[in-house]
Structure 1
Amino acid sequence: MIFERTARFKRAAKKLTAQDRERLAKALVLYERDPSHPSLGVKRIQGTKGIWEGRASEAIRFTFEKIDGGILLRNVGAHDPTLKRP
């Protein structure tokens, strides 16, 4: 599976704590193995066309679009700010 990252995702990921970056990495590995794993809580974001969210931890969310052969990671961070600008 291909994981492409937007510039915004890269900037936001750098702002995460080391612990949150590790959680994100584990969540992406889990997504690659089983996109429907319950701990990821993957669901489409209401009011958008084709933008999805997943959980890296209780507080950290990542947003993405499904593309051919993988996903385009759009944003990552705390729940509310991340989902306001997916």
Structure 2
Amino acid sequence: MNKIAVDIEPDFFSQYDELPKEIKKKFKKQPKFLKENPLHKSLQIHRLEGSDFWEFYIDKGYRCVFKQEGNIYKLYFIGTHELIDRF
């Protein structure tokens, strides 16, 4: 079985830096869940309509957008649910 890896795109960091502290804290556990069990209930992963991108929940108001490329999950965007809807 191939190991799953999580990679972060460079633009992601500037978005992350703008997040409230409590959201950063909640986010930190999510990549581990993504690597170990993408079906983990807290992630609530689903495909963004009409695209190759997926999103997972950080909490009710914040999401992370990623794309799967083989056994690598690339994180592209992090922000509010409202911003993700415009992605």
The two structures have a TM-score, normalised by structure 1, of 0.87
Percent identical among aligned pairs is: 19
Residue by residue, what CA displacement relative to the aligned partner does 1:25-53 show, whole Å, maximum 9, x if unpaired?
Answer: 111111222101122110000011x2001
Matched, 1:16 2:19: yes
Ranges of 4+ aligned residues in structure 1 off by more than 6 Å: none
Matched, 1:3 2:6: yes
Structure 2 counterparts to residues 61-72 of structure 1, below 5 A: 61-72=63-74
Structure of higher CA gyration radius:
2
Q: What is the aligned partner in structure 1 of residue 37 from structure 2?
A: 34
Matched AA of 1:73: L
Higher helix share: 1
The two structures have a TM-score, normalised by structure 2, of 0.86
Gapped regions of structure 1 (runs ≥ 5): none
Gapped regions of structure 2 (runs ≥ 5): none
Q: What is the aligned partner in structure 2 of residue 78 from structure 1?
A: 80
Aligned residues: 84
Distance (whole Å) between structure 1 residues aligned to residue 27 and residue 56 of structure 2: 10
SS in 2 for 1:81: helix
